[in-house]
Structure 1
Amino acid sequence: MTVQENTTLKAAYAGKVAADLAENTAEQDRIRAEIGTLQAQLAALENDHALLEGVSAALGDTTGGVPAPRKAAKKTAAVAKEEVAKKPVAKNASAKKTMTAKGGAKAANTGADKGPALTELIHAHLSGQSEPRTAREIAKAVADANPGRNVNDNLVRTTTERLVARGRVDRVKQGSTVYYTARPDAAPAASGPAEEAAAAAS
């Protein structure tokens, strides 16, 4: 490397170092300025904090009696909550009593509305007919005349077949259809709820 080249290289390094120094100095100045600003803000905040503490202390001295009404409010809320908790108990007891009364009345009505045995209703209906009737026709007529009774085709068919077995009703089959007619001279046989239940189960 020649002396001239060495001198040029040193000059380049010197220029680079000078620029870096200038940039470093400027950055330090910027940070110092920011630090000064932040310190001023911190001092202002500390001053405000001291003032607020003084105001808070003064307010605390003048409103020292405030907590007492809050306790009273809590006590009132507790009493109201207790009363609300008691009300559903009375309501439930009243509802239970009402349901019990309804259940008793329903049971009484069920016993009172039982009415004649289904066998007697069927025989009475057939006795008043001049023509044979199918089980479906009998069921409809008995159901219409006794809306409170649980009557269906299968129950009527089974019960009518029992009357046939006792000789109180005649059974005639025409093709695939079965007709029933009452025997006017047939003596009524005893029939009760137990027998109707057996007919319904069969």
Structure 2
Amino acid sequence: MYESSVETANLKAQYATQFADDLDNSLREQERIAAEITALEGRLSELRRGHALLFGVARPLDSKKSTESTAMQIDVGRAEADAPTSAAHRGSWPESYHAPEPLKINTAPSRKSPTLGDTMVDLLNQCGDPQSVTEITEALMRSRPERKAKKTVIRTTLENLVAKGRVERIKQDRAVFYSPAKASS
């Protein structure tokens, strides 16, 4: 009987030691995670200040854009969505920071020069005869040297024009030629 009470006492001591070690490990882990959270909160605060700074720089740049062209609205974020939820974090916002307004980005293509497709249709109309991709590329480089386009871009554009019905594709054996679409009467 004495032996079993000694074993029980030893077992209780082992459990007590293990329990104390587990509690210590748990406290250390909590302290480590709390330190990580503090560091991440600091980083978040830095990012928010950087965002506010970038927003302040973007606003004057945005006001210089042309208002006569079509513009697309891009939402750069809302302060409400980014706002810290706890009272302890609310003070980390800079006083000058306000919800950013959507930036207006000019998305209208500049129509100073015709599109690549329009240029190719014009070249095909001038040639009259069906032309290969190589011939069209060379003619494009001669007529518009500022336009740097690879054969793959020319071929893709031509195929898009075929799909739109603006150009006709003619296959002869393995060669492919393109000509302007015939006007329907």
TM-score in terms of structure 1 length: 0.38
Looking at secondary structure, tell me which structure has more helix per residue: 1
Looking at secondary structure, tell me which structure has more strand per residue: 2
Structure with higher Rg: it is 1
TM-score in terms of structure 2 length: 0.41
